[in-house]
Amino acid sequence: MALKHEVFQRAVLESHVEPERVRLLNQCTPNTATGTYVLYWCTRSPRAVHNEALEVAKSLARLVRLPLVCLNVIDLEEALEGSLRHVLFQLEGLVDFKRGLVKRHGLSPDAIHTRLDPALSVVTRLDPTGASSATSRTGEESVPYTPESPPASTTIVGGLSVLGGAAPALVGGREAPVTPQICSFEGFASRAYAIVTDRGHLRYQRARAARVAALAGRPLLEVETSLIVPVETASVREEVVASTFLDRMGSGLGERYLHELRPSPPLEPAPANVLADLHTLGYWPFPQVDQGWSAETWLSSVNRTHLLEVLRYHGVDCDAPIISASAYRGGETAARRLLSVFVARKLYGYAVKAEHQNEALRAEYGSLLSPYLTFGHISPVYVAIKVHRAAAERELDEHGGRMRACDSAERVVASLEKHHGEDTGDSGESFPSQAGTASPGCTSEEAFLLGSASSMLSIGSSAKRTLTTADTLTLRAAVEIASQQPDVRKFMENMYRRELAYNFVMYNKRYDSFDGAVPVWARRSLYDRASRRTSHYQYSETDWYNARTHNMRWNAVQRELLTRGRNICRDRNYWCQKILEYENDPAHAFELAIRINNHLMLDANDPVGYATCAQCFGRWQQPVTRASTFPGRDRDPAPEAAFGEQLGLVPELYTLRTDEQWRAAETLAEMIDQRLEIVPIPENDTVDAY
């Protein structure tokens, strides 16, 4: 839906966020009567750097001269498919996010709130005047409403802290048993001028945003924060051939959206009367606690019992092994540390290592950023920019580019001053439509080096204005230089495959079912192959979960998934293909792979997880033709019949390892984790230095 209100259009323009990233989900007018703040409803991207939704919310708050309130929500309905490890990872990220909001964006700690929305049904509606109506799941009216109010809506799940209403809460304590009781509460939307949120792509996330848009009575702006290129911009339909999508993204579409999002100035402090009772808004699992628990409070060892009680009551598995901090720790700081390690130590040679699958002791070649991208702790645009800058810098170092910097710096500045008047303005510096080659008279290497050379030059105010354009040209030149390197092309291909997964779940309504995700010819081939097998393995879901199969290689991969919450890419494909091989029913194998993946993989319940499983079952693959067994024919009449023989139904794809080799591999993995844990963040790794 187009941004019909002028204030929203101005907010997007001044935030320097691409307009195609922003959508208005309803036609409500801003709440100018009772709105006391702009609400940023953060569900997918708790990060302080390169957060498009946060910048739009800040820009809107600055335009309407209202404070900004940030509501961080962990939806326990989504956590049902996961486990305790996913909730802890999100809480760790929210701790880091709060620090960044206070330090970089000027928000008061009292304007940042964390809520755990329940996985229970609630009926609620908020009319434009701010009056609310709610009915509990038992049908008892809990909040009075006037006859002029719209009737109560149907039962919903999700968005409770925003909408308000009534829901079961745990009442009790040390002396009394904990029992559920229906409690009423006011939502954050009741006092909001407008709401800004991150865009979700899975079925439940889209339905939750639609419900809030329909029931909140406030304008809801949805901002794309999880992708380099917005889904509708990349393609208007489901892509059934992966190469077509990847070629389109790699031929310049993806590079157009590599745009540095500079943070706007910090906001003014919010008035004390606005923040006074915000801690009482939203859903509380424990009604007796009204001081507004933060993510740090939930994570503290003192309150760990309360957290486990809430999660168990709402059906979240708390018995899965907890991942140690040496493997993964949530938050933007940890994500940026891993990214710095990757560009410094692993990017060189990435293309060769990504194709290596038969090493006896192959090390982890990837960036390990998948969980952080899944939960929004780091931006994919930020990652791509860092990779291009590091690769271009290395390329110039190898060819002596820095030695030529001082010789050409003066000519570069003169060229930029000459062509400064040809620029389209401040807003054009940040939008992808302005992307292109360097300014005339300035080579790409010189433009790239200007960022470091300009700091040594004494120039006037007109030249200082030029440096903003030079920074943009620096990024363009870095992309132009780095895009020719095989390592960068391979890394960006994997990033674009992630975007393909989002295309899959957006345009395929049955992405999580065997009949919807797997093509017809692949299903026919898999069923045919399964019916012709002479021996079958009989494993229960518990056997699969606890790594009790005859295949020691698969058991080792599953144990790593249990204890560390991750597998490298090749192991994940192998893991899924072996489930398909050993299960009698391909449909049950698909469902089993999805359930175990979402339950244990740290980057689970994500479009990439669904797409990875679907690809192992034939998605984006072509039918395989076999040599004809009849004279005079070029191929068999059923060319897809050989497909099942490729999907794990053949002998081992990897070199078998002995027990000593597996122990050595696990020791090596632990050493890598310990080494990554002590790597400091570079001093220049800030928002300004980018």
Continuous H helices in 535-602: 541-545, 552-564, 569-582, 586-600
Is a pLDDT exceeding 70 seen at residue 681?
A: no
Higher pLDDT, 309 or 636: 309
Higher pLDDT, 383 or 451: 383
pLDDT value of residue 112: 93
In this structure, what token pair is assigned to residue 156? 């919903």
Range of the domain at 183: 16-229+269-313
681, 340 Cβ separation under 8 angstroms:
yes
- Alpha carbon distance 556, 659 (integer Å): 10
Q: What is the pTM of this model?
A: 0.79
Question: Of 257, 278, 313, which residue sits at a domain end?
Answer: 313
Is a pLDDT exceeding 50 seen at residue 145?
A: no
Is a pLDDT exceeding 90 seen at residue 64?
A: yes
Is a pLDDT exceeding 80 seen at residue 632?
A: no
**Residue at 591 is within a domain:** yes
Q: Is 565 exposed, middle or buried (0-12, 13-18, 19+ CB in 10 A)?
A: buried
Quote the distance between the C-alpha of residue 11 and its chain's center.
24
Is a pLDDT exceeding 50 seen at residue 281?
A: yes
- Alpha carbon distance 70, 161 (integer Å): 12
Provide mean pLDDT across the span 375-401. Answer: 87
pLDDT value of residue 660: 63
Mean pLDDT for the chain overall: 76
Question: Of 290, 313, 336, which residue sits at a domain end?
Answer: 313
**Residue at 322 is within a domain:** no
Listed residue (51, 57, 95) closest to 74, CA to CA: 95
pLDDT value of residue 364: 63
Domain total of the chain: 2
- Alpha carbon distance 311, 321 (integer Å): 15
Assign 658 a pLDDT band (cuts: 50, 70, 90): low
Is a pLDDT exceeding 60 seen at residue 649?
A: no
pLDDT tens, position by position, 470-509: 343 478 888 888 888 999 999 999 999 999 999 999 999 9
Cα angle: 427, vertex 229, 76; to 5 degrees: 110
Listed residue (167, 192, 209) closest to 73, CA to CA: 209
Question: Of 291, 313, 335, which residue sits at a domain end?
Answer: 313
Listed residue (371, 297, 370, 296) closest to 97, CA to CA: 296
User: Which residues, 6+ apart, have CB-to-CB distance to 422 below 8 Å?
Assistant: none
Is a pLDDT exceeding 50 seen at residue 239?
A: yes
pLDDT tens, position by position, 408-442: 444 444 444 444 444 333 333 333 333 333 333 34
Listed residue (194, 186, 254, 171) closest to 25, CA to CA: 194
Is a pLDDT exceeding 90 seen at residue 304?
A: no
Is a pLDDT exceeding 50 seen at residue 464?
A: no
Is a pLDDT exceeding 60 seen at residue 655?
A: no
- Alpha carbon distance 359, 443 (integer Å): 42
**Residue at 219 is within a domain:** yes
CA dihedral of 578, 584, 588, 592, whole degrees rounded to 10: -30
Provide mean pLDDT across the span 10-22. Answer: 94
Residue with tokens 């993946």: 597
Q: Report which listed range, 166-170, 357-361, 589-593, is most confident.
A: 589-593
pLDDT value of residue 160: 86
pLDDT value of residue 176: 58
**Residue at 401 is within a domain:** no
Range of weakest confidence among 88-102, 168-182, 352-366: 352-366
Is a pLDDT exceeding 90 seen at residue 367?
A: no
CATH number of 542's domain: 1.10.579.10
pLDDT tens, position by position, 313-331: 888 999 888 876 656 789 9
**Residue at 627 is within a domain:** yes
**Residue at 663 is within a domain:** no
Over pLDDT 90: what percentage of the chain?
39
- Alpha carbon distance 383, 335 (integer Å): 10
Assign 451 a pLDDT band (cuts: 50, 70, 90): very low
pLDDT value of residue 158: 78
Strand 132-135 vs strand 123-126: parallel, antiparallel, or unpaired? antiparallel
pLDDT tens, position by position, 152-199: 444 446 788 898 877 777 776 555 566 777 777 889 999 999 999 999
pLDDT value of residue 11: 94
User: Which residues, 6+ apart, have CB-to-CB distance to 311 below 8 Å?
Assistant: 76, 79, 84, 87, 318
User: Which residues, 6+ apart, have CB-to-CB distance to 270 below 8 Å?
Assistant: 37, 67, 68, 69, 107, 108, 110, 111
pLDDT value of residue 148: 35
Strand 37-42 vs strand 192-198: parallel, antiparallel, or unpaired? parallel
Over pLDDT 70: what percentage of the chain?
68
pLDDT value of residue 123: 42
Assign 291 a pLDDT band (cuts: 50, 70, 90): low
Radius of gyration of the chain (CA): 27
pLDDT tens, position by position, 524-582: 999 988 888 766 778 999 999 999 999 888 998 898 888 888 776 667 778 888 898 88
Q: Position 677: which residue type? A: E
**Cα distances (angstroms) measured from residue 341 to each of 47, 370, 503, 566, 668:** 19, 15, 30, 18, 17
Provide mean pLDDT across the span 126-143. Answer: 37
- Alpha carbon distance 363, 22 (integer Å): 40
End-to-end CA distance of the chain: 33
CATH number of 165's domain: 3.40.50.620
- Alpha carbon distance 243, 619 (integer Å): 12
Provide mean pLDDT across the span 232-239. Answer: 93
Is a pLDDT exceeding 70 seen at residue 467?
A: no
Provide mean pLDDT across the span 20-37. Answer: 92
Is a pLDDT exceeding 50 seen at residue 651?
A: no
User: Which residues, 6+ apart, have CB-to-CB distance to 293 below 8 Å?
Assistant: 114, 303
Stated as kind and residue range, the H or E segment containing 133 is strand 132-135
Each residue of 318-341: b (16+ CB within 10 Å) or e?
Answer: eebeebeeebbbbbbbbbbbbbbb
- Alpha carbon distance 298, 302 (integer Å): 9
Length of the chain as a residue count: 690
Range of weakest confidence among 142-156, 296-310, 573-587, 656-670: 142-156
pLDDT tens, position by position, 192-221: 999 999 999 999 999 999 989 998 999 999
**Residue at 453 is within a domain:** no
- Alpha carbon distance 430, 469 (integer Å): 9
Q: Report which listed range, 8-22, 159-173, 303-317, is most confident.
A: 8-22
**Residue 165, beta-bridge partner list:** 185
pLDDT value of residue 165: 76
Assign 406 a pLDDT band (cuts: 50, 70, 90): very low
**Residue at 425 is within a domain:** no
